[in-house]
Structure 1
Amino acid sequence: MSIWVILIIYLAVMIGIGVYCKKKTSNVSDFVLGGRSLGPWFTAFAYGTSYFSAVVFIGYAGQFGWAYGISATWIGIGNALIGSLLAWLVLGKRTRIMTKHLEATTMPEFFERRFGCKKLKIVSALIVFIFLIPYTASVYNGLSRLFSMAFGFDYAYCIIAMAVITAVYVILGGYMATAINDFVQGIIMLGGIVAVIYFALAEKGGLFTAMKSLAEVSDAGVPQGSLGSLFGPDPINLLGVVILTSLGTWGLPQMVQKFYAIKDNASIKRGTVISTLFAVVVSGGSYFLGSFGRIFVDNLEVGSNGKPVYDSIIPTLLDSALPDILIGIVVVLVLSASMSTLSSLVLTSSATLTIDLIKPLRSNMGEKHMVRIMRIFIACFLVISVVIALNPNAYITTLMSISWGALAGAFLAPFLYGLFSKKITRAAVWASFISGVGITVVHMVLFSLGWFPGLVEAVQGLGWKLNILSPINAGAFAMLFGLVLVPVVSAFTKKPEQEIIDHAFAGYQSEI
């Protein structure tokens, strides 16, 4: 009963914030960016809660805690230092200044105005819409598994209910409702993760006893003692996870768009500290908790496709370690993380479709009409994501890796270099789009869809230390390849027009 009370209060507060913020969303800038007026706390929490969701807490923490033991905590540390601290230091100020000067409200608009090419906007908008869908489905997947554990609900009903609730408050209040809810959700996440770790470790006799039990675990693929070691049984593939989940945020439209909306440079400095500390606690704590999965789960569940269901590890751990009242807190914790991520994803996708694809076809479209269309697209986007998530064999890590690999592989390099360098060419941007999406899609077709079992078996038989079958390593490679490809292509292709360069970088001079 206590779980229901906590849940109902939480949902009522969220929807109430959406109703309150509806009065403050009179135009597109208000709906998409909150009028570019958010301070450091709201922006930092919006960044952190969009970053970490059920995908991390249920999917990644469970699977990689199981695979790498205590060394999985390095993923959380990488998220804090690379995905938060460095992202804010390198991207924050320059993104805010250039996007404001170019009057860009989405990443596709940035590519159009920074490089002077409308086709870049159209193609990047399509990439955003297509590849944000599997990420959204992965969030539903993790959230629904936890709800099934806590309430005994059917998996499908959980997914549909979460879609409806997300739609209500995002459609009503837009970015401002999302940001305020993110702040409330972030506070719940910070307190909840600390409480869960404390009680989970207490169940096994404290930290040192739990570490000793973990070090004693061994099976066919994990030498005894390796799960309790500093770099774990597989440091090479662990590095691939760190790169994907940390560097990937630099090229994700729903993440960098947070810098568009922040109020001023002073807010960026304070937001950097807040965001980094948030990531240390939430991401570091999630992977640290997941690393003890093996001492809580005796027999790992196997799915209908014959593969282990890693997404069940954390729910099983929580069910065996926590009293009912704390399970209620955890449900709200993961719901908080997931709803904030979902709201960011659907808002980014609907804004991209409306501003970058629909508006150019109807030049006389008014502000209120655009906001209305965005709300319709939010509903459509959620429906498509739900259909994908209803596949019980669609594992969280696979869905997220495909999404992040394509988006960050395509966008990270041209976005990053575009903020700093005047030498980046349109051809280089196109090359990055093609390589990022191409590497991800080709890898998915060959190894993730099960269409070529003979090829998969042949690669497995090679016994390479670097697991090239992993969509995570493919995504990490796509990002790093783009960082090399863009300056190389720029060196051998037609230079950008000086007028475009001068206009794009004029904002920095005005700021000075």
Structure 2
Amino acid sequence: MIIKLAMLIVFFIAMIIVGIYARKHTTSVDGFVLGGHSAGPWLTAFAYGTSYFSAVVFIGYAGQFGWKYGMSATWIGIGNALIGSLLAWIVLGRRTKVMTRHLQARTMPEFFEKRYFSKGLKIAASAICFIFLVPYTASIYNGLSRLFEMAFHIPYQYCVIGMAIFTGLYVILGGYMATAINDFIQGIIMLVGICVTIAAVLNINGGFMNSVFEMAKIPSDNPVTLGQQGAFTSFFGPDPVNLLGVVILTSLGTWGLPQMIGKFYAIKDEKSINTGTVISTIFAFVVAGGSYFLGGFGRLFDGPGIRDAGGNVIFDRIVPEMLVDLPDVIVAVVVVLVLSASMSTLASLVLTSSSTLTLDCLKGFVFKKMSEKQQIITMQVLIVVFILISVLLALNPSTFIAQLMGISWGALAGSFLAPFLYGLYLKRISPAAVWTSFVLGVGITTANMIFKFIASPINAGAFTMVAGLVVVPLVSLVTKKPERAAVDEIFAAYDEKVEKSKKHTLE
């Protein structure tokens, strides 16, 4: 217990020190929200990766999908690395940086307003952000608190409240730059921690080969492969169709999440994009791939610890149960690992929600004039409000972690992915098509929460994203397109000439 507490105390002190150090960047709105556009490749790549992966992945998703799909759950981590990181940086990184800088857009709702010439889109996007980031935040509190209960025997409520206080402190103190520096520190902890954890857990069952051998003996309980042995160690697992839905939601979904896309707004230069692409992809392979790979062995730890009184599996308990018998030092590493992942994601979420509400709703609508200082203070107050709301939801969780995240990602990515992606590449996309995407994303997600016509919120979220990608260009063909000259002026930003050194090009 002394070892675990010592590591936690050092971790929390370091976070607060970074927050105090980063205060010099919070004198302007750009500094508070985007770090003054000065984040280099390592800070940006780690900020992207640590915002991507949290306790939701390590505790919720790894546990649930590792149980359902066995070792094939590793494909989710591979998809996160190749689609959610590598392709996201290649397809979105440079164009997002150029266009948002040209439009002087600091948030995704502001991008929608200036790209599609509609203030209504900005307000609607801001409301969607604020409402649907709350369940995502609650799911992170939920996952981390489960681990703390296992490691420290601290009641769930105190874990949630303590984590909220520390996250709020360093975000309020240092804004984006505090989260970016802390993300870098936390990212290193995550890389080391996941490798140590995998080795320790596999060693419980005699190492990797023996663990695979034991997994191969377990009969499948999936309706398609009922009773079949070896399904949990097969290449695509017992249920490849639903596995694909999870890959789509957790990988392609990042392309439409405001807290992820915001990292490209703040990046420094071309070198940062190229280097950041490589770093971010490697980070995702290790952290996401490692988390799902670890979760794939969850059935080896089946027992009373992961089941309720009726014998039903509680997915959120699977990964903590895998760690119960590990040495205290390893448990301490895991706690700090998951704490790092969770606090970095939380910081990104609360900063995104507060800046969106302040810059896109309050400024210019509720308050006609707001000075830079007033905007920063408002964002700091809203950070507290957002944390309080998410804490209240986390203290009364209504569903599993993965379902909470699926609802959030489905609404956000289902609403934003298509109009944001097409808006960077196609001039013809109409404001009506963007409104259609918003209605689809929120409508399908909300309707499915009530009527459950798609059994899994994960699959519902994947469906909304794919539907948006199909519907937005079709609606644009039959609705009024924006004024040609205005759109041409926006896209002219891509054609501006820049000089490059010979180490980057021979011509």
In 1, are the aligned partners of 2:220 and 2:231 still within 8 Å (CA)?
no
Q: Percent identity among equivalent residues?
A: 62
Q: Which of 334, 339, 349 is matched with 1:345 structurally?
A: 349
In structure 2, how many angstroms separate the alpha carbons of the residues matched to 1:511 and 1:178? Answer: 33
| Matched residue SS, 1:231 | coil
Partner of residue 327, structure 1: 331
In structure 2, how many angstroms separate the alpha carbons of the residues matched to 1:97 and 1:480? Answer: 26
In structure 2, how many angstroms separate the alpha carbons of the residues matched to 1:108 and 1:305? Answer: 46
Partner of residue 60, structure 2: 59
In structure 1, how many angstroms separate the alpha carbons of the residues matched to 2:173 and 2:297? Answer: 41
In 1, are the aligned partners of 2:437 and 2:471 still within 8 Å (CA)?
yes
Letter in 2 for 1:29: D
In 2, are the aligned partners of 1:435 and 1:482 still within 8 Å (CA)?
yes
In 2, are the aligned partners of 1:409 and 1:432 still within 8 Å (CA)?
yes
Partner of residue 230, structure 1: 235
In structure 1, how many angstroms separate the alpha carbons of the residues matched to 2:70 and 2:449? Answer: 27
TM-score, normalised to structure 2, is: 0.95
Partner of residue 273, structure 1: 278
| Matched residue SS, 2:236 | coil
Partner of residue 293, structure 1: 298
Letter in 1 for 2:19: G
Partner of residue 498, structure 1: 484
Matches within 5 A, 1:125-144: 125-144=126-145
Matches within 5 A, 1:370-409: 370-409=375-414
| Matched residue SS, 2:25 | coil
Shift of 1:394: 2.8
Letter in 2 for 1:343: A
Letter in 1 for 2:79: G
The superposition leaves residues 282-340 of structure 1 with CA deviations (integer Å, 9 ceiling, x where unpaired) of 000000000011102324634589853100000010113x2001100100000000000
Deviates more, 1:389-398 or 1:127-136: 389-398
In 1, are the aligned partners of 2:109 and 2:121 still within 8 Å (CA)?
yes
In 2, are the aligned partners of 1:297 and 1:317 still within 8 Å (CA)?
no
| Matched residue SS, 2:363 | helix
In 2, are the aligned partners of 1:82 and 1:246 still within 8 Å (CA)?
yes
Q: Alignment length, in residue pairs?
A: 492
Partner of residue 283, structure 1: 288
Shift of 1:266: 1.6
TM-score, normalised to structure 1, is: 0.94
Letter in 1 for 2:184: F
Partner of residue 87, structure 1: 88
| Matched residue SS, 2:428 | coil
In structure 2, how many angstroms separate the alpha carbons of the residues matched to 1:384 and 1:305? Answer: 32
Matches within 5 A, 1:8-157: 8-157=9-158
Q: Which of 360, 364, 368 is matched with 2:364 structurally?
A: 360
Shift of 1:506: 2.1
Letter in 1 for 2:314: V
Letter in 2 for 1:279: A
Letter in 1 for 2:95: R
| Matched residue SS, 1:418 | helix
Gapped regions of structure 1 (runs ≥ 5): 448-458, 460-467
In structure 2, how many angstroms separate the alpha carbons of the residues matched to 1:282 and 1:67? Answer: 20
Q: Which of 439, 442, 448 is matched with 1:437 structurally?
A: 442
In structure 2, how many angstroms separate the alpha carbons of the residues matched to 1:297 and 1:120? Answer: 48
Letter in 2 for 1:39: G
Q: Within the alignment, does 1:469 sit opposite 2:455 as a pair?
A: yes
In structure 2, how many angstroms separate the alpha carbons of the residues matched to 1:358 and 1:393? Answer: 31
Shift of 1:495: 1.4
In structure 2, how many angstroms separate the alpha carbons of the residues matched to 1:346 and 1:446? Answer: 30
| Matched residue SS, 1:360 | coil
Letter in 1 for 2:480: K
Assess, with a 3 A threshold, how the Cα gap between structure 1 residues 306 and 35 changes in structure 2: closer, same or farther.
farther
Letter in 1 for 2:439: I
